[in-house]
Amino acid sequence: MKKTVKASKKGFTLVELIVVLVILAVLAAMLVPALVGYVDKAKAEKEYQTAATVYGAAQATITEMYGRDAITTGSGTISKGTTAKSFSYGKQVLSLAGVDSNAVKSFTFSYKNYIITGGDVYINGQQYHLDITNGVPSWSAPKKTT
């Protein structure tokens, strides 16, 4: 009597491999949008922090100019560029803030009696509006529609 020897097959079948690939594709389809959302939130938070840093540097610049008698009490504007109504220390503000001057397209802060009362910062085309109520700065930005 002959004994038949079955050859031992090692490895996965094509069906098993396809099932694993389908499971990985489903997991990736759920994960990628979540990760993109986290990246967008982190970018927005970074831009808020950049706007707040520019605000702090502008307030320090205004206070320094007042201490040097370069400005008097009253009201005026500090901004990036040459469109400032009162004076323009945009480069000094951005240097003090240590932010990328190319990212911060423009900023304008209004002050009264050397205290900033409000303003706007434009970072990478996004507007960040500063509102100061009871001496507490609050930032807002319109929602991006994409």
- Residue 50 is classified by DSSP as H
Cα separation, 135 vs 117, in Å, equals 9
- Measured CA angle at 101 (ends 50, 116), to 5 deg: 55
Grade residue 146 by pLDDT with cuts at 50, 70 and 90: very low
Q: Count the neighbouring beta carbons within 10 Å of the beta carbon of residue 105.
A: 15
Write the pLDDT tens digit of every residue in 94-143.
888 888 777 888 888 888 888 888 888 888 888 888 888 777 778 887 66
Cα separation, 109 vs 80, in Å, equals 10
Grade residue 22 by pLDDT with cuts at 50, 70 and 90: very high
| Residue 106 one-letter amino acid | S
Q: Count the neighbouring beta carbons within 10 Å of the beta carbon of residue 143.
A: 5
Instruction: Give residues with Cβ within 8 angstroms of 110, minimum separation 6.
Output: 75, 76, 77, 116, 117, 118, 119
Backbone dihedral region for residue 118 (phi beyond 0: left; psi -120 to 50: alpha; all else: beta): left
Q: What average pLDDT does range 14-18 have in this prediction?
A: 93
